[in-house]
Structure 1
Amino acid sequence: MNRRWWLSVGVFITVLVGALSVYLYLKATPYQAEIDHGPTPEAQANPYLAAEHFLRKQGLTVGHANSLDVLPSLDPHQHSLLLLGDRYNMTPRQIDQVMNWTRAGGRLLFVAQSLWDEKTGQSNDLLLDRVQVHQSLSKDLKEPPPDILDDPFPKLTKLYLEDENAPAYASFDTAFHLEDPNNLAQAWANSGKATHMMQLKHGLGSIIVVTDADLWKTPAIAQYDNAWLLWYLTADTRVTLLFNTDHDSLLTLLLRNFPQALIALIALIGLALWHVGVRKGPLLAPASKGRRQLQEHLRASADFMLRRSGQHSLLQALQQDILRRVRHRHPGFEQLGVAEQWLVLARLTGQPTRAISQAMSPRPKQRLSSAEFSRQVAHLQTLRNTL
């Protein structure tokens, strides 16, 4: 019976699970969902990745470089070089190389990175100064004419083309303005108040200066005509994007990613230096205790005390020692007057009162001659030895 009972329980559980499965199958509704895992590591490392993909879709050959070391290998003919990264460490020699490359037929596009200083007559952007274009703040400009104030999109930069009724719109940063003091620009693009893009002729090539390149980063490149503008500026050329030229040093990378290993390495180097620095020669034999005479030790001690405390302190110490011995031999000595104390000392030592007075009187603090100091010491020692 026990076996039949367990068989019934098993059949019941099987039927219950089957019924539940059929119910869930009939009630369940399949659907599709997209899960956003964020940008890929490649997109995080390259803010212009979408721009590169877009240009490749337009049939352009696009490359990416991290430094100007690739410049000698780039043929300037029908080639666009986009300097989109930080250029504050760019040397005058590198600027000459870039300008010569452009003069030979290259198309150069770079971002103005510094404001023009009227007092110094230059900016911190050597390349911008070389092409004689100035950058300033748009807020410092005069207010535009009334007809421009009617612009429906004053924050967007307009690029007008021939045979086109409407301009192309780009979202340059309107906080900055480009100036062409020498009237070298052949084309430009303006917002409602300022200029944000200029194109200049340079030898067989051309130079394009923009106030910023954020409109070509992800996801701003998909807004307005930003992507089209990038294609228009690089059309019919091979493209090399150069950015992220400032790399972290090896020490910075180690501190950021392997701080414990770096600390262990420093400790290991310190232990190694300590081990190498330990002397391994024979031990020195103990110095002989009889190598100095007692007289030498006493003289050395006296010289040290004389240099450290001076003559006055030594003479005063002898006088105090004499008074201590007198108080021991003549109770109540400290209660006597000075003249009576001198008489007691004269009686105990057999020295005249005048000699006692000269020896025990307070001495001036000025330095005595060696002969006078020796005489005073000898006299006080004579008095102390007779007590």
Structure 2
Amino acid sequence: MSRRLTLLLASLVVLIGLLLAYLASKATPYEEVVEHGPAPEVAADPYLAARQFLIAQGRQVARTSGLERQPERRPSSQVLLMLGDRSEMTPTQTERLLDWVAEGGHLVFVAEQIWDETTERSGDLLLDALQLQQHETAADSTARDTATEQRDPQPRLTRLYLENEDAPAFLAFDTGFHLYDAGHRAHAWANSDDATHMLQLRHGQGLVTALTDAWIWQNAQIGQYDHAWLLWYLTQDRDVQLAYDTEQDSLPRLVMRHFPEALAALLIMVLLGAWHVGQRHGPLIETNDRSRRRLQEHLRASADFLYRRAGPNHLLETLQADVHRRIRSRHPGFDQLPLDQQYQRLAALCQLPTQYIEQALSRPAKALGAAEFTRQVTYLQRIRNSL
């Protein structure tokens, strides 16, 4: 038995070895690249590549996330790139910034608002102060685009021409917007076929560069065309301060993204807790059914009400009147008898002393107590029952 088991196990091992050898001969090695997307720091900072590029060029780069930090002094050696939202910028901040430019600073900013012909202003404090206007360009027709593309292989790119340069720099600005120099102060500009996307003008001792958009310097676009070169050109020989906001996910959104199972479990616990607190504990209290009350209960309730409201003397007088009515109806001529004979006759009928009869039928001179009232009622009931 042991020998057969040994042979069976050996055969099984041989078969498994042959199967593995066959699979190994058919297997083909290959390489697969799994794309995990940008690193978290790249996704959180759209201008990270631009910052690293400037640092590689030997620039001193500082970054701020808002308008609370204005450029430091030494304006002639600094350039400020305002690439973020400026909707909260105040007139005082605008004036202080332009004063800094007038002392020799270089300001590069993105136009944010469209010129309003009705109010003759855009609401963008920097644009209005510098007499610059941003307009939306009209949509080109298909036929016009086709003809332009046949004439120029890159019709929608913006061209920047420099002195002593034969070829222009190509930039992929958004052609849906156009900058207009209403004050005629610009000395340099960059145009596409239908619009101007960069204007540069003097302001005091400094320089202002206005752009229709700054997406050309974001991580995915800075390596295209001459975008990196333009950033180098505008910041050359100066320290750079970048001002822009990075959109950060709120805590609830981060929790929903990374811990959905925990949130679902918490929601279920809250629902179960609310159900447990809201459920009934113990039997319901039965309500009294008014239709089951007897006549005796109603009479007793009425008597209690009269006792509290009218007093015991009123109830006693009512009972005495009822006794007198019964005497007159059942014993005619009883009222014609003297009081002494009346009391004696009633005492004989109900087997009570005469003084009890007189006390029960006489009107009380003062308010009776509970014990006296009960005794008087007992005597009267006994008299009435004996008639």
> Shorter-chain TM-score: which interval?
0.5 to 0.7
Displacement after TM superposition at 1:198 (Å): 0.7
Task: Quickly say closer, same or farther: Cα 1:205–1:3, change in 2 above 3 A.
Answer: farther
Task: Quickly say closer, same or farther: Cα 1:71–1:24, change in 2 above 3 A.
Answer: farther
Displacement after TM superposition at 1:205 (Å): 2.3
Report the equivalent of 1:16.
15
Report the equivalent of 2:67.
68
Matched ranges for 1:126-165 at <5 A: 126-139=125-138, 150-165=151-166
User: Does residue 6 in structure 1 map to residue 12 in structure 2?
Assistant: no
Aligned-partner SS, 2:222: helix
1:238-268 deviation per Cα after TM superposition (whole angstroms, max 9, x unaligned): 22221117888xxxx466567989xx9xxxx
Partners of 1:140 and 1:133 lie apart in 2 by 22
Displacement after TM superposition at 1:110 (Å): 0.6
Task: Quickly say closer, same or farther: Cα 1:110–1:168, change in 2 above 3 A.
Answer: same
1:129-186 deviation per Cα after TM superposition (whole angstroms, max 9, x unaligned): 1122111122299x9xx99995543311000122222111101111111111222112
Contact 1:200–1:208, Cα closer than 8 Å, also in 2: yes
Matched ranges for 1:1-387 at <5 A: 2-73=1-72, 75-139=74-138, 150-244=151-245, 253=250, 256=253
AA of the residue aligned to 1:160 = Y
Partners of 2:167 and 2:154 lie apart in 1 by 13
Task: Quickly say closer, same or farther: Cα 1:94–1:12, change in 2 above 3 A.
Answer: farther
AA of the residue aligned to 1:49 = L
Task: Quickly say closer, same or farther: Cα 1:95–1:116, change in 2 above 3 A.
Answer: same
Aligned-partner SS, 1:81: strand
AA of the residue aligned to 2:190 = A
Partners of 2:64 and 2:42 lie apart in 1 by 16
Task: Quickly say closer, same or farther: Cα 1:72–1:79, change in 2 above 3 A.
Answer: closer
1:75-100 deviation per Cα after TM superposition (whole angstroms, max 9, x unaligned): 53432211111111111122123222
Displacement after TM superposition at 1:27 (Å): 4.1
Contact 1:86–1:245, Cα closer than 8 Å, also in 2: no
Displacement after TM superposition at 1:217 (Å): 1.8
Contact 2:44–2:247, Cα closer than 8 Å, also in 1: no
Task: Quickly say closer, same or farther: Cα 1:74–1:8, change in 2 above 3 A.
Answer: farther
Aligned-partner SS, 2:138: helix
1:25-81 deviation per Cα after TM superposition (whole angstroms, max 9, x unaligned): 444443332111122222222122222233333333333220123325475343221
Task: Quickly say closer, same or farther: Cα 1:147–1:27, change in 2 above 3 A.
Answer: closer
Contact 2:45–2:246, Cα closer than 8 Å, also in 1: no
Task: Quickly say closer, same or farther: Cα 1:255–1:105, change in 2 above 3 A.
Answer: same
Partners of 2:57 and 2:38 lie apart in 1 by 23
Q: Looking at CA atoms only, which structure, 1 or 2, has the larger radius of gyration?
A: 2
Aligned-partner SS, 1:222: coil
Question: % of aligned pairs identical?
Answer: 46
Displacement after TM superposition at 1:219 (Å): 1.6
Report the equivalent of 1:359.
none
AA of the residue aligned to 1:208 = T
Partners of 1:12 and 1:75 lie apart in 2 by 88
Aligned-partner SS, 1:179: strand
1:199-234 deviation per Cα after TM superposition (whole angstroms, max 9, x unaligned): 112233211100011222232223222222222222
Report the equivalent of 2:364.
none
Question: Structure 1 stretch 58-67 or stretch 31-40: which is displaced more?
Answer: 58-67
Contact 1:151–1:192, Cα closer than 8 Å, also in 2: no
Q: Which runs of 5 or more structure 1 residues have no equivalent in the other structure?
A: 265-292, 296-387
Task: Quickly say closer, same or farther: Cα 1:182–1:73, change in 2 above 3 A.
Answer: closer
Task: Quickly say closer, same or farther: Cα 1:72–1:228, change in 2 above 3 A.
Answer: closer
Aligned-partner SS, 2:33: coil
Task: Quickly say closer, same or farther: Cα 1:20–1:45, change in 2 above 3 A.
Answer: same
Partners of 2:44 and 2:209 lie apart in 1 by 26
Report the equivalent of 1:275.
none
Partners of 1:62 and 1:24 lie apart in 2 by 58
Contact 1:138–1:193, Cα closer than 8 Å, also in 2: yes
Report the equivalent of 1:378.
none
AA of the residue aligned to 1:65 = T
Task: Quickly say closer, same or farther: Cα 1:27–1:75, change in 2 above 3 A.
Answer: farther
Aligned residues: 260
Partners of 2:188 and 2:10 lie apart in 1 by 86
Aligned-partner SS, 1:64: strand
AA of the residue aligned to 2:14 = V
- What's the TM-score once normalised by structure 2's chain length? 0.58
Task: Quickly say closer, same or farther: Cα 1:38–1:92, change in 2 above 3 A.
Answer: same
Partners of 2:186 and 2:77 lie apart in 1 by 21
Question: Structure 1 stretch 194-203 or stretch 233-242: which is displaced more?
Answer: 233-242
